[in-house]
Structure 1
């Protein structure tokens, strides 16, 4: 599988890892609806489910494979023959199928989850990749809990699975444990110590237990990872996964720092798809969430509002329209300045002279102290007074 070294492959797992959140289960038609939007958004890979886990998941992978045209459809398995056979069966209609198989890489997992040894785990990893390769050309291998794995053993495992035919090697920070410099140096170590690493794409799959999923994913990209596994709104088990919209906008805002790296993501769809996933999965987005939160482009402090109204770039590094919002919000609160009040009155068609504005502003402050949200009706009554 040839890959473009300047392309960041966006692997969306909203429908697999994201859907594992209690209360977020989707029906197959709902999954297809979201998958078609993800295809329009420009993701490269959609992880459609874990086929062996339930008949519903199996059916979802089958139907998504039929519904989607250009995107790679990926199915998750454990490192055993039956899981892989079931996944291959579920992917039979996919135009571009991928099997995602793997096993624990940390001594903690090897000992306490698999009750096994490094040697045995290595054999099982290689056997799983070979078996998956007999079904599909595109095989991704995940080294579970790589974040806490011994570096030399991890490199040995990665080398072995690439030799067995893995096209992508996923280095998950399964527990969201790593600091960005630790995770980045892990990726760098693999780039420098795995002799066949040029034959595969390194993938970052980070969890947000310490709030570092996005930072860790970016550190991975800076050190040579070329696939990022993420979800819309950063949803996922426990504290969630890497947020797709955050990674995408970091690459866009800091494009000079990332050289020629590009993705196919159409960021103007973010607001729409964020709200849709939030509603369908019954997962509210926190108002201060980066990029897609309700307050992400809301300015309420008077100093900020004044600076913003004079020159947007004073307080905006992303334009709201870049993420599909019509415009930034100048929110009126007791903290707002007269520049913000003037802006809203002019929006409503009132152009007050300096003295009248000063008088209206004093009455506005009294009202704003008594009332949390000032709306257009409040402004009209202030002017009419």
Structure 2
């Protein structure tokens, strides 16, 4: 058990050197120039709006997991005033093509066999301050952090777990090997740290990305910690049809929300509440299949694994994660989350 505790702790560690300022500046100028040329070409072909990522060939991934300089949000329709000590996200325009692009990026994160390659492909858009790219890149870094901190140590720990008895050990080994395969080209020098993930999500949130903003609350580093802001954020996610935002918010709606006046009367404050937000996310389109990031994270990082490798998240929850008496209460919570009238989702963002 001590070995497993150390394994979980390793997820939140990393090391690496800070990038050299001159090199970073030169890279940024080169990427911006490439983006301009590529953008003009796509405009001539009438394909600019449907692009998912910018292909830069051998463009290197940003060193140290650092995010791009924070863009100054464009001034469009201003959201309702919020009592805040930090900037709040800007509103976004209605762009159905951008929503499809966000969905394609989410699918790429779930299905790409090589997450290092996907992160490198996203690097130009990340450096340009693109909210969707920042969000997906932060998810890649979060998913791969435990492996990248020490690939050899990760493999050694997987071997230890494989020698345990029982079907759960087999499932745990399979989940960890899935992570190792998808993250296999990351190394300690990439410094995939919690601090780097938070920086990217702050940038994405300030650019208007609802899921990134929700995840900061769950990480206990919200853009603003006033009760008014926190309740407004939860209600905005609740009103949305954004499956990723529901899932990103869910850890903050469990036991962590217990006793907080900001969440009074909301689905919050118990372990069942966290599961309810996650199940609502699944029913709104989040990938919750057997090999999904959600199932893999529970198993590889937390040791909570389904005995049946074919089971999806919802089946696992009702089969093994809750007592029979809790099923009705959980279903009532999910119904509450899904009954609210839901305005149009816009590229992982919500118009306010």
Structure-2-length-normalised TM-score: 0.25
More strand by share: 1
More helix by share: 2
Structure-1-length-normalised TM-score: 0.23
Q: Which has the higher contact order (CA 8 A, sep 6+)?
A: 2
| Greater Rg over alpha carbons, structure | 1
